[in-house]
């Protein structure tokens, strides 16, 4: 049970970075300004690198000989364990950066906690990833502020993005059986414990951005336990996994 739960947990971490890294990479070559193009690619590269580590470790712990690539390219939607937030489509640049900031503000706290994990391998991955995430959250936070407190148009678009994505925030803090097992083994924190820090960070940024956090705290769920993903994920996988599916067994 313990190893099963750890495998599940690692898939959650790795699928988040896999799916979000993929989404961010969709911006390559078409972002609003060259400097942003380069910065977004850096974020995507960090996330892909973290994916290799999380899913690599997941495969080791599972012990069935599956590599990070096998897990990324050969599982179907119901086996993915990422948050619904990260599979949401890019929308406009503001929506992409809002999604990024909301994820980063959670991610950096989760990784910070994982640096003290009782599992040394997890602590090591987190120690590397938390540095990347700290930069991500600074950059995405600044951009949310800049666009929120920019022109009337940029303000309106950012408020719309926040309204659209806020219902996907709650899932990050749900505590289920896997989280309970991780918590009691000292492997990972209780997600609830990350909420206060997240809320004060997000409130500060949204205040600076002159944006209003929606009062309704309804939360969509079903991503991190794989129970019910959105329709978007399947389309992403058809693209991401196409070569591996069309030419099984080939080496690339």
Q: Cβ 17 to another protein, closest distance in Å?
A: 10
Q: Cβ 177 to another protein, closest distance in Å?
A: 29
Torsion of CA 136, 37, 241, 63, to 10 degrees: -30
Q: Of the two residues 69 and 163, which places its CB atom closer to another protein in the complex? A: 69
Q: Of the two residues 17 and 117, which places its CB atom closer to another protein in the complex? A: 17
Q: Of the two residues 148 and 191, which places its CB atom closer to another protein in the complex? A: 148
Q: Cβ 152 to another protein, closest distance in Å?
A: 9
Q: Of the two residues 186 and 247, which places its CB atom closer to another protein in the complex? A: 247
Query: Distance (Å, rounded) from C-alpha 189 to C-alpha 3?
Result: 17
Q: Cβ 209 to another protein, closest distance in Å?
A: 9
Q: Cβ 139 to another protein, closest distance in Å?
A: 6
Q: Of the two residues 1 and 34, which places its CB atom closer to another protein in the complex? A: 34
Q: Residues interacting with another protein, by CB under 8 A?
A: 18, 22, 25-26, 28-39, 41-42, 44-45, 48-49, 51-52, 68-69, 72-73, 92-94, 135, 138-139, 142-143, 145-147, 149-151, 153-155, 157, 239-240, 242-244, 247, 249-252
């Amino acid at each position: 049970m313990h190893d099963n739960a750890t495998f599940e947990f690692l898939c959650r971490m790795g699928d988040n970075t896999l799916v979000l890294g993929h989404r961010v990479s969709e911006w390559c070559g078409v972002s609003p300004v060259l400097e942003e193009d380069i910065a977004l690619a850096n974020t995507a590269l960090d996330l892909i690198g973290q994916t290799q580590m999380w899913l690599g470790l997941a495969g080791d712990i599972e012990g069935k000989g599956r590599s990070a690539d096998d897990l990324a390219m050969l599982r179907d939607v119901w086996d993915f364990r990422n948050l619904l937030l990260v599979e949401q489509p890019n929308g406009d640049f503001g929506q992409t950066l809002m999604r990024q900031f909301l994820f980063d503000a959670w991610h950096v706290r989760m990784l910070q906690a994982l640096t003290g994990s009782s599992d040394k391998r997890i602590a090591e991955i987190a120690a590397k990833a938390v540095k990347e995430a700290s930069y991500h959250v600074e950059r995405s936070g600044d951009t949310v502020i800049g666009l929120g407190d920019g022109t009337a148009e940029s303000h309106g678009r950012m408020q719309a993005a926040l309204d659209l994505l806020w219902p996907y925030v709650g899932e990050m803090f749900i505590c289920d059986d896997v989280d309970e097992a991780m918590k009691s083994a000292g492997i990972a924190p209780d997600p609830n414990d990350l909420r206060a820090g997240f809320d004060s960070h997000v409130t500060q940024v949204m205040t600076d951005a002159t944006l209003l956090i929606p009062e309704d705290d309804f939360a969509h769920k079903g991503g991190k336990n794989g129970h019910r993903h959105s329709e978007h994920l399947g389309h992403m996988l058809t693209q991401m996994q196409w070569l591996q599916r069309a030419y099984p067994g080939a080496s690339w």
